[in-house]
Amino acid sequence: MCFCICLLCLYMHTLPFLRRTRVSFVLSTLLFIFNNVYAQTCSKTAQGLTTTEMTVISKVSTLVTTQWLRKQIGSSNTATRALRILDTSFVRDKQVDTYTMAYLEGHIPQALFFDLHKCVESTPSIPRNLPDPSCFTSYVRKLGIWPDTHVVAYDRFGPASAYRTWWLFRLYGHTNISVLDGGYRKWVADGYDTTKEEPEVEPSMFIPQLDRFLVRTFDDMAENLRTCREQVVDARGATDRAVVDTESGGGKIPGSRHVSFEELFNEDGTMKTEEQLKSMFDDAGLNLQRPLVATCNTGMTACGVAAAAHILGRDIPVYYGSWTEWRQRAREEHTYSGCTEQQDVLKNGLGL
């Protein structure tokens, strides 16, 4: 049996006594962690982290509104353990000091700056690599994020980095995270206050647990060309997929279908309705009742498509190397997939 199951049994048998001791607090915390990973299987170790093969069920909504967040903040700039707001404002160039240029110029009250470049060792094929687990753990602890902390991420330059942060925290086992619908631009447009004050927080005991279900590698995607187990949804816009785009190099992973990240949103930056999102997947020939995997250019906007699928009740993984890695590593045997033809047969057979 997994350790977490044994712990639950011990807790239940000793609960009357433990209620009268301080040990109760410790085991209650551990039980909370168990409750957040109850859907996971027993684990193995990879990249220095505990990994799992099933995704956990989030207890908070994918999106929160500016009105909801304003109510939670109240009139104080004192951050609490229960809520951690992260300004994830991001630009591609690591040399740009976004903390000084954006965050210190004004942010949502109680918000801390979260640097997506931190702990990441970029490579030519994977410029948006996963953060080093040890470094990421230390960084998140300094932000005062506990297992029960509700994290809310937002961006000011467009929603991509907020959704990348949403996916990243879930990948490392923290499912209590939402994205501020409409981001900083919507917050300001709604007339809510901003501040230049940076809140102080106490360090936490963040315990990462890599959810292997939520991530795909190049080898996974190459194998999928053979098995066609997962439908591939490409989040890039038309410009990104064109040959004229110097970063993407043009082209796509064989068999992939297209749901543009940019088209997920209304003019004010809020995400479209569930009905509209569902239509986008349907129009692309994607069946939400079957496994999917999201990809894009560098692993950023694919996270937004993953969030859209999550809103529709489907957890899907992200190929974090995406097209930038694929076009550099793919060989001749990776140039064809029969998956598209299989999807068309399924679509026609189901009358979709």
For residues 72 and 60, the answer to whether their CB atoms sit within 8 Å is no
What DSSP character marks residue 55? P
Instruction: Label the pairing between strands 150-154 and 210-211.
Output: unpaired
The closest of 256, 153, 173 to 214, measured between CA atoms, is 173
Q: Which two tokens stand for residue 249?
A: 């190099």
Q: Which two tokens stand for residue 240?
A: 């990104």
User: What is the C-alpha separation between 192 and 194, in angstroms, rounded?
Assistant: 7
Active-site hit among 4, 6, 296, 303: 296
Q: Is 9 a catalytic residue?
A: no
Edge-first strand order for the sheet with 257-258 is 215-216, 318-319, 292-295, 231-234, 257-258
**What contacts 116, CB < 8 A, 6 or more positions away?**
88, 90, 161, 164, 165, 168
User: What is the C-alpha separation between 67 and 78, in angstroms, rounded?
Assistant: 19
**What contacts 88, CB < 8 A, 6 or more positions away?**
114, 116, 153, 154, 155, 161, 162, 164, 165
Edge-first strand order for the sheet with 83-87 is 63-64, 177-180, 150-154, 83-87, 111-113
Residues known to be catalytic: 296
